[in-house]
A = this chain, B = another copy of it.
Amino acid sequence: MERVEQHASFGGRQEVWRHESRTLGCTMKVGIYLPPAALRGERCPVVYWLSGLTCTEQNFITKAGAQQHAAQHGLIVVVPDTSPRGDGVADDPSYDLGQGAGFYLNATQAPWAAHFRMEDYVVHELSAWVEQHFPTNARRSIFGHSMGGHGALTLALRHPGRYASVSAFSPIVAPSQVPWGRKAFAAYLGEDQGAWAAHDAVSLIATASERLPLLVDQGEADEFLATQLKPELLQAACDAVGHPLTLRMHPGHDHSYYFIASFIGEHLAFHADALKARA
């Protein structure tokens, strides 16, 4: 492992690390924000951020404005890349499949199954690596945007007990029912839709064994709202089983990082509260 960037930021430090992932079979970059408390040697909880299509670890750490709030709450923020990367890794010319579009699952189909194992990477290998090398207290929350909102919701629902809270901006809540998800699931999981429900938040909510604090923010001027995101499907699924959900619709807001930045402080406060309650 090697630190490739470090920048003082709000009394803490924004770092970028490169490490070898055995799960993915490639080198991965990870953004790590260490708040002032961590630099003083205190053990801090970790919030994992999962980014959307086409992103690397850079988008969130440069544009979301999360560091000031992580500094205030004493949160380590870990930001992985969105897929395995490199010349030896399968890819597709379109932006919504292959590198930059890992969809936070373990692919079962060729040519993807060899490297595309983002679920195992994020849930197991990355958190073990983070907890070994940084001053954490082994409490975790998870959040993300768009494809990464899908990732946060499904990983939290598939791994009960692992995260104290989950939140999302503009998530793909029902990938089995929308073009981005159907294309990715067909490629990564195969045409048999029987395997898809296990990676679909709206399906998973129906049988969730845990009642996690769940916050979703969605812009009403989001260009993908009606075709790809459909938060009303998550609301209906939560209502059907009495799962808690705070779904907030925001007039005028679009799918960009300007939306994320406007509410990132509230998301980090939400996670800080849930992580404290776990203490």
Contacts and interface: CB of A to CB of B under 8 A. Distances in A.
A256 interface: yes
- A interface majority secondary structure: mixed
Contacts of A8: 219, 221, 250-254, 258-259, 262
B258 A14 contact: yes
A129 interface: no
A99 interface: no
Q: What number of copies of this chain does the assembly contain?
A: 2
A57 to B, nearest CB: 14
Contact of A10 (B9, B10, B68, B262): B262
Contacts of A63: 62-63
Contacts of A251: 8
A270 interface: no
B257 A62 contact: yes
Interface of A: 7-11, 13-14, 62-63, 65, 67-68, 219, 221, 250-254, 256-259, 261-262
